[in-house]
Amino acid sequence: MIIIGVGNCGMVLASKFSTDPILISTAHQDTVNFEDKEVYSFSKEGASKRFRTGVKIWENNIAKLKDIFEDVRDEKVVIFSSFGGGSGSSSLNPLSRILLSNNNKVLIVGVLPFKKEINPPLANSVQSINSLMTLIQHISVLIFDNEKLKKEFKNNWNDINDYIIKRVDYIVNLLDKFSTDQYSPLTLDQSELDSVVFGGGFIDFSNDFIEEKMPKLEYGKIDKETKNCLIAMFVDTDIEDEEMSKYHNVITNVVDRVSSKISNARMIPGILRGSVNYSNAKEGEIKDRAYITIASGLNIEKYIQKIEKIRDLAVKKATAYAEDYRGSKFIDKSDNKVLDI
The answer to whether 46 and 86 have CB atoms below 8 angstroms apart is yes
Domain annotation covers residue 192: no
pLDDT number for residue 44: 65
pLDDT digits (tens, 9 = 90+) for 131-169: 888 899 999 999 998 888 888 898 898 999 999 999 999
- Given this model, what pLDDT does residue 29 score? 67
Q: Are residues 165 and 250 in the same domain?
A: no
pLDDT in tens, 268-311: 999 999 998 888 888 778 889 999 999 999 887 777 777 777 67
Given a contact cutoff of 8 angstroms between Cβ atoms, the answer to whether 108 and 202 are in contact is: no
Q: Which of 32-41, 64-73, 182-191, 277-286 is predicted with the least confidence, judged by mean pLDDT? A: 32-41
Q: What is the C-alpha separation between 154 and 157, in angstroms, rounded?
A: 9
Asked if omega into 120 is within 30° of 0 (cis), the reply is yes
Give 34's pLDDT tier (boundaries 50, 70, 90).
Answer: confident
| pLDDT interval class at 38 (50, 70, 90) | confident
pLDDT confidence bin for 323, thresholds 50/70/90: low
Mean pLDDT, range 121-132, rounded to an integer: 82
> Is 39 within the bounds of a domain?
yes
Q: What's the sign of the alpha-carbon dihedral 2, 231, 276, 189? A: negative
Same domain, 139 and 267: no
Range of weakest confidence among 120-129, 155-164, 272-281, 317-326: 317-326
Which CATH number covers residue 115? 3.40.50.1440
* Helix%, strand%, coil% for the chain, nearest 5: 45, 20, 35
- Residue 341, pLDDT above cutoff 80: no
Q: Are residues 282 and 217 in the same domain?
A: yes
| Same domain assignment for residues 244 and 158 | no
More confident call, 52 vs 205: 205
DSSP code of residue 301: H
Residue 130 lies in a domain: yes
For residue 236, the domain's CATH number is 3.30.1330
Q: Which domain holds residue 271?
A: 204-300
129 has a pLDDT exceeding 90:
no
**Listed residues 172, 195, 222: the one ending a domain:** 172
Instruction: Tell me the average pLDDT of the chain.
Output: 85
Between 225 and 329, where is the model more confident?
Answer: 225
Residues 148 and 14 in one domain: yes
DSSP assigned state of 311: H
Q: How many structural domains compose the chain?
A: 2
Residue 284 and residue 164 share a domain? no
